[in-house]
A and B are shown apart, each in its own frame.
Chain A
Amino acid sequence: DQQVKQNSPSLSVQEGRISILNCDYTNSMFDYFLWYKKYPAEGPTFLISISSIKDKNEDGRFTVFLNKSAKHLSLHIVPSQPGDSAVYFCAALGALISNFGNEKLTFGTGTRLTIIP
């Protein structure tokens, strides 16, 4: 049972436009959410995170929005650049699920973002 879902396997966006990547989760015990970015032949790297006590977190061109009632989060990239082309993984964890913090980080299936020059 996939507790973190990314329903769009791929997304293509024109350079300079906004990229919006979506993620849905089913486990109401998740209270911390993260996005990781992965280039080919490399491991994922941490991008941005958000706690459930917030509904928005911004870091430069990247903003994550959280809608707890809908169990939905999204990553906005503005403006999109060619270097943003990568696979993006949504991930979640919850204090009540784990004893120590991050041993139950649950990842989504990933969305491949392609920025068209």
Chain B
Amino acid sequence: EAQVTQNPRYLITVTGKKLTVTCSQNMNHEYMSWYRQDPGLGLRQIYYSMNVEVTDKGDVPEGYKVSRKEKRNFPLILESPSPNQTSLYFCASSPGGTYNEKLFFGSGTQLSVL
């Protein structure tokens, strides 16, 4: 089954404790992206990757890191989480190319930073 898999689904952590949210897709997609969803703010892009070893900042990259060492994986790293990073996170992928707007989203990771 074609899918984007995020782990974990739920995560509670404390301020400053490094964490990684994994994202994997099995559709051989070139483009991958991370979004966060917050009440009243909709979905905001954190980082995106056009292909392996090619990443760039989205609209809200502060406090986050990403890597794209292989095509299928795009982990989101929070080196020193803070309470304002408490949010619902989504990973997404698409085949790539111009106007390939049909993003496939994972099921989300609910992160709480205490």
Footprint of B on A, CB under 8 Å? 2, 4, 6, 9, 32, 34, 36, 41-46, 49, 89, 91, 93, 95, 100-110
Contact = CB atoms under 8 A, between A and B. Distances in A.
Chain B interface bracket (under 10, 10 to 19, 20 to 34, 35 or more): 20 to 34
A59 to B, nearest CB: 13
B48 A43 contact: no
Nearest to A107: B43
Contacts of A100: 50, 96-98
Contacts of B85: none
A102 B97 CA distance: 8
Interface of B: 4, 31, 33, 35, 40-45, 48, 50, 56, 58-59, 90, 92, 94, 96-108
A49 B50 CA distance: 22
The A contact surface, by secondary structure, is: loop
Contacts of B35: 107
18 contacts: A42-B108, A43-B90, A43-B106, A43-B108, A44-B103, A93-B99, A95-B99, A100-B50, A100-B98, A101-B99, A101-B100, A102-B94, A102-B99, A102-B101, A103-B50, A103-B56, A108-B42, A109-B42
